[in-house]
Structure 1
Amino acid sequence: MMIIVLTTQVEELLQARVVRASFLDVQETDPNQYEVRSGAYMNVVNLSQKKCSCCMFDVDKLPCIHAIAAAQTANVSRISKCHPYFRTEYLRLGYAKSVMSKDETCPLPNNVVEKRVKTPPVRTQSRRPKLTRAEGPFEIAMQSKRPRKAHCCGNCGHTGHNRQTCND
């Protein structure tokens, strides 16, 4: 039986990132820092501080593709680099305590009981309504994305220049 540590949606997101991370080149600079290259781009990942120069690791609190590639090189679990908020145990603990019912021994004042809360006034937008809804970050990430192919020269096949600026 497999123990599920992360929530299902986060695990699917990380699995999609693992596929994209397999195309990256990783070089260790010191035991905690790694240089991750994809074509002409380079990112620096610090696994102990959970930081990456692309800043996605800092914002999402989930390892980006660069951090996953570095973790695979360092033989570190990608799950250990996720924030505890994304763990199923943390989610279960949030619902573990019961919610207290209304205390009948302490009555509310009459002015509070008699007060009615009105709904806020709603004004319709003056422009044409949107037909499609905005997708969330998880929905965008879950779409099948392949890493971009590095552009290369038509003459020599190297990256970083084109046919017109080729020296060969």
Structure 2
Amino acid sequence: MTTNIVESINSVLRFARMLPVVHLIDEITNLLVCWFRQRGELAMKSHSTLCPDLGEIKLRKRLDAASRMNVVKINEVEYNVLDGDLNGLVHLQNRSCTCRKFDLEQLPCKHAIAVCRHLKLNPYSFASSYYTRATWAAAYAESIYPVPPEATWVIPENLKKVKILPPLCKVMPGRRKTQRIPSKGEKSRQKKCSRCGVKGHYRST
């Protein structure tokens, strides 16, 4: 089980969550500006065909593994790759393999790379466009601008008359929670007893 992107953002903004709404939005805007600038510069400096952290590293590892495989041609589009451990039936036209990695990741598996070497084809051409450096750079090509001062805002007259009320919610008594509740199947971090060092109880209990 993995934590979704909402929990990741929640962890980054764990200190800014206590700020007023306007300052929280400014903090989120500044964070996105920093992320877009850093990732955009990394994409422009990269000279690899695929994204270095995802496609390029995986494909290079599979290139080494594919060099020790034998390819048997079945017909014009299907090839049986003898892996020695788990053979793969590759269909180049459909970009699929019986190991399912080519189908799910849309990145050539080691069996498909062995077929590409056998046919003297470029395995990079069979990778999805989502893994390319151009797509990575295009994702961070836009600019995010800060919100100008309120005195410079141009607000139509019909919107000035609209009153936005806060949502109706019941504030529960007690101290507000600052940590999320672990989902089912996720390991909860239990604190150790300060006396014996064993989880599951405390010094007072």
Q: Deviations over 1:109-165 (max 9, x none)?
A: 5426x56xx9987336896539xxxxxxxxxxxxxxxxxxxxxxxxxxxxxxxxxxx
Where in structure 2 are the equivalents of 1:26-65 lying within 5 Å? 26-39=71-84, 41-65=86-110
Match of 1:122 among 165, 173, 180: 180
Structure 1 residue runs of 5 or longer lacking an equivalent are 131-168
Instruction: Please give the alpha-carbon distance, in whole angstroms, between the structure 1 residues aligned to 2:189 and 2:105.
Output: 30
Question: TM-score under structure 2 normalisation?
Answer: 0.51
User: Match for 1:105 among 154, 159, 162?
Assistant: 154
Find the aligned partners of 2:99 and 2:57 in 1 and give their Cα distance: 21
2:138 alignment partner, one of 81, 93, 103? 93
> Any idea what SS the aligned residue of 1:71 has?
helix
How many equivalent residue pairs?
128
Q: If each structure's helix is expressed as a fraction of its own residues, which one has the higher value?
A: 2
> Is 1:81 the equivalent of 2:126?
yes
In structure 2, distance between residues paired with 1:97 and 1:91: 12
**Which residue identity is paired with 1:17?**
R
Residue of structure 2 aligned with 1:4, choices 37, 41, 48:
48
Unmatched 5+ residue regions in structure 2?
Answer: 1-45, 191-205
Q: Which has the larger radius of gyration?
A: 2
> Contact 2:182–2:188 at 8 Å: present in 1 too?
no
For 1:8, the aligned partner's letter is: P
2:106/2:128 contact within 8 Å kept: yes
Moved more, 39-48 or 68-77: 39-48
TM-score, scaled relative to structure 1: 0.61
Q: Distance in 2 between matches of 1:96 and 1:72?
A: 35
Partners of 2:81 and 2:88 within 8 A in 1: yes
Q: Alignment identity in percent?
A: 22
- Separation in 1 of the partners of 2:72 and 2:132? 30
Q: Does the C-alpha gap of structure 1 residues 26 and 95 become closer, same or farther in structure 2, counting only changes over 3 Å?
A: same
CA deviations on 1:7-39 (whole Å, 9 max, x unpaired) are: 112212111111111121111222321110122
For 2:139 and 2:188, locate their aligned partners in 1 and report how far apart those are by CA, in whole Å: 41
Deviation per CA, 1:84-105, whole angstroms, max 9, x where unpaired?
Answer: 0000101111222234665833
- Aligned residue for 1:122, secondary structure, equals coil
| Higher strand residue share | 1
